Amino acid sequence: MTTSTTTPPNTLPYEECRGVLRVYSDGSIVRSPNPSFNVPILDDGSVAWKDVVFDPTNHLQLRLYKPAAATRSPSSSKKLPIFYYIHGGGFCIGSRAWPNCQNYCFQLASQLQCVVVSPDYRLAPEHRLPAAIHDGVAALEWLRAQAEADEPDTWLTDVADFENVFVSGDSAGGNIAHNLAVQLGPGSPELGPVRVRGYLLLAPFFGGTVLSKSEAEGPKDAFLNWELIDRFWRLSIPIGENTDHPLVNPFGPFSQSLEPVALDPILVVVGGSDLLKDRAEDYAKRLKNWGKKVEYVEFEGEQHGFFTIHPNSQAAKDLMPILKRFITENSS
């Protein structure tokens, strides 16, 4: 399998994802350096940001954000919760550096008054699952290293509250957040002194071999239609597996039962016109019936990823106070 940023000199059939990834029938892969969403970056200076390498071996970076006013407030001021934002893209595309991701992180840092950590992760099909889950863990372990460092990065440590960490993910990032919640367990003891307080799954990307009603009957012109959902899964699940893989289907025939598993509080958010809606709703209902602290919020008529695709929409604006309330209610 080879990856390049130029089109191969052949006319082989290929599969395409959002105009930035082509996978040819001979196994070669072409990635465009351009993002799928060509929107301007709205940086008004109210949020400070920078990039940090968190996994040198895999050349992975994360982008840190904080309210600019926090840079002028010494450590005597109240420290800010940490909000991980793991980008979406069907495990195949996306980046912390895409402008839609950066613009949303600006809003998160400003409106939630938090430190935002937006990590990259290895993408499929070059790196199929569970690579993205491992990278999600590595991004949190980087935070633990900062909390324990003798000479930490004061840009972060002067303002960040390591005891109030929230892990959020958009679409594929929501899937990663779920799998981190299960792996780390309540209180994230293996990350101490870092303490995860809750998980926010925004339009989480789950699957299964038996289609849900919304998947089977959803409109073909949906922003995330079934053809693209199916393509993302085929390119990202381990070779020889199907969408009942435990990392894909939390309630599949090969998945551990989550009934006896203790979990930190979880917020699930989905658009009512998202083809993944039924899976998100079923996920929340099952966990709640098992006694987990789970909240489900559905925005009627909204498509997949409405909060980043249309960040100035009324629904996207209405989502922010819901996120802020969840953080406030679950902080120490």
Pick the closest to residue 180 from 61, 86, 81, 270 (CA basis).
86
Which residues have a Cβ under 8 Å from the Cβ of 105 and sit 6 or more positions away?
47, 49, 63, 65, 85, 116, 118
What is the C-alpha to C-alpha distance for residues 115 and 190, in angstroms, rounded to an integer? 22
Three-state SS letters, 161-195:
EEEEEEEEEECHHHHHHHHHHHHHCCCCHHHCCCC
Q: Decide if 275 contacts 229 (C-beta within 8 A).
A: yes
Q: Decide if 171 contacts 304 (C-beta within 8 A).
A: yes
> Within 10 A of 329 (CB to CB), how many other CB atoms are there?
13
The active-site residue, picked from 110, 171, 188, 212, is: 171
**Helices H, strands E: what count in the chain?**
10, 12
Active-site residue flag, 255: no
Which of 282-297 are b and which e, b meaning 16 or more Cβ less than 10 Å from the residue's Cβ? bbbeebeeeebebbbb
Pick the closest to residue 3 from 182, 235, 162 (CA basis).
235
List, by residue number, the catalytic residues. 171
